[in-house]
Amino acid sequence: MQKRTLGNSGLEVSAIGLGCMGLSFGYGPATEKQQAITLIRTAYERGVTFFDSAEAYGPYKNEELLGEALAPFRDKVVIATKFGFDFNAEGGQSGLNSRPQHIRAVAEAALKRLNTDVIDLLYQHRVDPAVPIEDVAGTVKDLIAEGKVKHFGLSEAGSQTIRRAHAVQPVAALQSEYSLWWREPEGDILPVLEELGIGFVPFSPLGKGFLTGAINAQTTFDDKDFRNTVPRFSTEAREANQALVDLLGEIASAKQVTPAQIALAWLLAQKPWIVPIPGTTKLNRLEENIGAAAVVLSADDLAAIEDAVSKVTVQGDRYPAHLQARINR
């Protein structure tokens, strides 16, 4: 697989990474451990070198899974993880926490769970309004100086927060949602990243599965699947948003690829420092996603996609209100 460098950081990764959240959290029951290890190792064998986790995924279970799965080739991959939450006794998130002492504690625990001496990329998972971003960046800067972390990242941070953090410790990458059905970062985020030399790691690049064409208004989700609470996945919204997938399907068919591959190739075509991290629990979807790196979209292709997408207004918010409130813009 082709490689990309995240901004000016020098951090080189595969053009498509693997978002590992869904193996442990969010989309229903966790994947059986050996099956998950097989998928992660298959991704590596197919050229993926960028693996994304977080303490919140489980919580903790996903980091432990990656630590075991990636141990045989730890020095050949880039592992990203995140801090920023407190958890209750049941494992649910009980609030934001980016206090310096908490960041240090999370980093130490993550090193053990990941079975590694250093975290390649450490993100603040969500901006904590109770802690100045300068204190957050300064703490990660100290962890970098101590050799426990290599690079600093932010997730779902607004442009001013990015600037303030970057002034203290260079930000290697911003991770936020970006796809053909969520293009808000094109407003002020992408220009700031380009100006400062920061890479962009889109999560949910396939619209939480919707852009694959495998979900429609009749699809039912597991009781533990968080999409049950997402307004954009209400039956009415899915009915309205099907028009976007249908248009993608037409474009994909003409190029003899899949809608998912078109959606990922479109992201890759936006900037050379964009690295999407689609997640999956299925080997066939993994192969499909990796195949998108080889899909070349011409200027005419991109214009056709732009024209098609402009005809559809996506319905529904991307998060329920209580989670939307945690987005820093």
Task: Please check whether residue 129 is in contact with residue 158, taking contact to mean a CB–CB distance below 8 angstroms.
Answer: no
Q: What is the mean pLDDT of residues 270-294?
A: 98
CA dihedral (53, 78, 326, 222) positive or negative: negative
- Contact yes or no for 193/5 (Cβ under 8 A): no
Question: In the chain, which ranges are continuous DSSP H helix?
Answer: 33-45, 61-69, 100-113, 133-145, 159-168, 189-196, 235-255, 259-270, 283-291, 299-310, 321-324
Is 57 annotated as catalytic?
Answer: yes
Q: Residue 325: which pLDDT band, with cuts at 50, 70 and 90?
A: confident
Share of the chain above pLDDT 90, in %: 96
Residue pLDDT, tens place only, 184-229: 999 999 999 999 999 999 999 999 999 999 999 999 999 999 999 9
CB 264 within 8 A of CB 14: no
For the domain spanning 3-208+270-295, the CATH number is 3.20.20.100
pLDDT (average), residues 153-162: 98
Instruction: Tell me the pLDDT band of 249, cut-offs 50, 70 and 90.
Output: very high
Q: Look at residue 107 and give its three-state secondary structure.
A: helix
Residue 62 has pLDDT above 90, yes or no: yes
d(CA 158, CA 171): 13
Q: Residue 144 above 90 pLDDT? A: yes
What are residue 122's phi and psi, to 5 degrees? -115, 115
As a whole number, the mean pLDDT across the chain is 97
Please report the pLDDT score of residue 178 as a whole number.
98
How far, in Å, CA of 14 to CA of 199, rounded? 13
- State the catalytic residue, choosing from 27, 44, 57, 178: 57
Tell me the average pLDDT across 7-23.
98
- Which positions ≥6 away from 48 have C-beta within 8 Å? 1, 14, 16, 17, 18, 290
Assess contact for 153 and 202: CB atoms under 8 A: no
Question: What is the pTM for the complete model shown?
Answer: 0.98
pLDDT of residue 208: 97
Q: Does residue 84 register a pLDDT over 90?
A: yes
